[in-house]
Amino acid sequence: MNDDGIAQFNKVSLGSDSSTSTNISELNNEKRLANNAHKPSNQLKNGLLGWYAICSSKDINDEKPYCTTIYNEPIVIYKDKESNLRCVKDLCPHRGASFIGGQVIDGELVCPYHGARYSSEGKCTNLSKITCNHIVDDNYNNYASKIHLYQYICKEIGGYIYIYYTGNAKTNLSEFNVVDTINNHLLNNYGFDIASYEYEEVVVDFKCDWARIIENHLDILHLFWVHGDTIPDNDVNRDVITSFNQEITREENQIESKYKHKDKSLGEFIRIKFLPPGRIVIYKGDPSVARYIQVLDHIPLSKNQARVIVRHYRKFMKNKFLTSLLLFRQLQHRVFYKVFAEDYMILRTQTYNNQMGYIEKDNVKLLGEDKMVQYFWDWFKSSETKDHPWELHPTNVDTNKVHEDISMLYPPANPRLEKQNKRSIYLNLAIRLLVPIGLVLIII
Ligand code: FES
Ligand SMILES: [Fe+2]
């Protein structure tokens, strides 16, 4: 019985016999408390602040810091002397330069402006001078020992770099109050054994609203229509638009939607999980047997820019030599870039419509099939009110857009990598053709 039911029941009882009703009421209350103690809430417990998979392990190297932004705040990620991962607010405390263009030397972060070096605890280590001998400041040592970097907690697990983002970097990491364990975010806990899969990964940048991209990836309806000609799956094309039985469950850590074929013998078509704040996992069928699984991590770089890390886990084509020979990786990337360019066409103008307030003004009506999307927006709106992440590092019309330009690294907004990928396909094809021809010629 729900709360309303209990209230109704008590009201009726009070009218007939108040002493009995008090007992019944107490009993019901006890029962309700006991139930609530064991029953997990169906509301997502995490808001917009917390653990984000911010980049891939392969983005981090020993010499150059990895620079990016999250909710407008520039951050830098690198590895210190002991190979511990560090995530630092991108601000040198000497004169406020960014570490973009800086270096990592012997595991220390080095500012590109005057060469100040910082230990992994964020303390300045060149205590006698910054770089130039002619800088004379009697008080320098005292000064250098007082400046420090601000950091966020970060971890490297399963090839991902996660940061615990609060919008408030600290000089002492032990001051963070981590209310959500990283274990809730690890792929191994999502119903499939990643060790039995191989994966391809692409990273794409969109000049549009972060939440709109998540909405797109939760939306099964558009797959058939927008990507029907691109996704290499016979079940997904414009001609086989079909309806499914949808089953949605909401728990504290996830919203899950199963789309099952109406013909029961065909089983499950697709399953989608939303894991707040920024992860979506899409399974082709039941997770324990799915032939492929997509993991999409969404990073809100700035108000109008978002990055998506896409991993495509597969149980087939696991032979490394064969996949390399057949240019499987490049061909997969080609499909990804095409799919995201198709989405991008929709998303950037939809973002504009959103910013203009057209979508807010009750001009849109969701369908029954859009329930997952509706649940996502319900969570997003209440989390935004609670966490107000965009107000933590606000920009205005006068703010220079340097980070927006610098952080745009990947297609579809920047076609450079897509072209590189195409070139790599042509080059490798040419090599694969020329080698046997050359061998034949030598033999002749
Ligand atoms: S601003 Fe970084 S060393 Fe001067
Ligand atoms: Fe899409």
**For residue 180, pLDDT beyond 70:** yes
**Coil/strand/helix, residue 73:** strand
What CATH number is given to the structural domain containing 139? 2.102.10.10
Give me the number of domains the chain comprises.
2
Last residue of a domain, one of 175, 208, 241: 175
- CA of 93, nearest ligand number: 1
Which of 88, 89, 90, 95 for a ligand 1 pocket mutation test, highest count of atoms within 8 Å of Cβ?
A: 95
How far, in Å, is the centroid of ligand 2 from the Cα of 61? 31
Clarify whether residues 163 and 194 are in a common domain.
no
Q: Are residues 214 and 289 in the same domain?
A: yes
Q: Is the pLDDT of residue 6 over 60?
A: no
Question: For residue 22, what is the enclosing H or E element?
Answer: helix 18-38
Q: Do residues 85 and 156 share a domain?
A: yes
Ligand 2 centroid distance, CA of 338 (Å): 10
Residues 163 and 278 reside in one and the same domain: no
- Would residue 60 count as lying in a domain? yes
Query: Which ligand has its closest atom nearest to the C-alpha of 215?
Result: 2
Q: Does residue 180 sit within a domain? A: no
In a domain, 17, yes or no: no
Pick from 27-36, 138-147, 279-288, 410-419: least confident: 27-36
Domain presence at residue 250: yes
| Lowest mean pLDDT segment, chosen from 120-134, 298-312, 423-437 | 120-134
The average pLDDT across 162-174 equals: 97
- Asked if 247 and 295 sit in the same domain, the reply is yes
- Same structural domain, 221 and 350: yes
Residue 31, domain member (yes or no): no
pLDDT given at position 104: 97
Q: Does 18 map to a domain?
A: no
Average pLDDT over residues 131-156: 82
Q: Does residue 201 share a domain with residue 168?
A: no
Based on the domain organization, do 93 and 225 belong to the same domain? no
Q: Does a structural domain hold residue 259?
A: yes
263: pLDDT strictly greater than 90 = no
pLDDT recorded at residue 13: 29
What CA–CA distance (Å, rounded) separates 246 from 439? 57
Where does a domain end: 120, 150, 175? 175
Do 241 and 343 share a domain, yes or no? yes
| pLDDT-based confidence at residue 131 (cuts at 50, 70, 90) | low
Q: For residues 173 and 286, which has the higher predicted lDDT (pLDDT)?
A: 173
- For the CA of 212, the nearest ligand: 2
Query: 144, 175, 206 — which closes off a domain?
Result: 175
- Contact between 76 and 65 (Cβ < 8 Å): yes
In this predicted structure, the answer to whether residue 17 has a pLDDT above a threshold of 50 is no
Burial of 355 (0-12, 13-18, 19+ CB in 10 A): middle
Domain that holds residue 147: 50-175
Quickly state the pLDDT bin for 363 (edges 50, 70, 90): confident
pLDDT at residue 56 is higher than 90: yes
| pLDDT tens, residue by residue, 271-311 | 999 999 999 999 988 888 888 899 999 999 998 899 999 99
Going by alpha carbons, the residue nearest to atom 3 of ligand 1 is 114
Average pLDDT over residues 334-350: 92
Query: Mean pLDDT across the stretch 394-405?
Result: 85
Which residue in 304, 333, 278 sits closest to 162, CA to CA?
278
Looking at the fold, whether 125 and 223 belong to one and the same domain comes out as: no
Same domain, 168 and 195: no
What is the structure's pLDDT at 420? 83
Q: Are residues 68 and 109 in the same domain?
A: yes
Is it the case that residue 133 has pLDDT exceeding 80? no
Pocket of ligand 1 (CB under 6 A): 92, 94-95, 97, 111, 113-116, 130
- What pLDDT digit, counting tens, does each position of 314-330 carry? 988 888 888 888 888 88
Residue 7 within any structural domain of the chain = no
Q: Looking at residue 95, what DSSP letter applies?
A: T
Q: For residue 310, give the CATH number of its domain.
A: 3.90.380.10
d(CA 198, CA 346): 31
Backbone angles phi, psi at 266, to 5 degrees: -85, -10
- The span from the first CA to the last CA of the chain, in angstroms, equals 86
CA of 80 to the centre of ligand 1 (A): 19
- Whether residue 118 has pLDDT greater than 90: yes
Q: Which two tokens stand for residue 434?
A: 């020329």
Is residue 29 very low, low, confident or very high in pLDDT (cuts 50, 70, 90)?
low
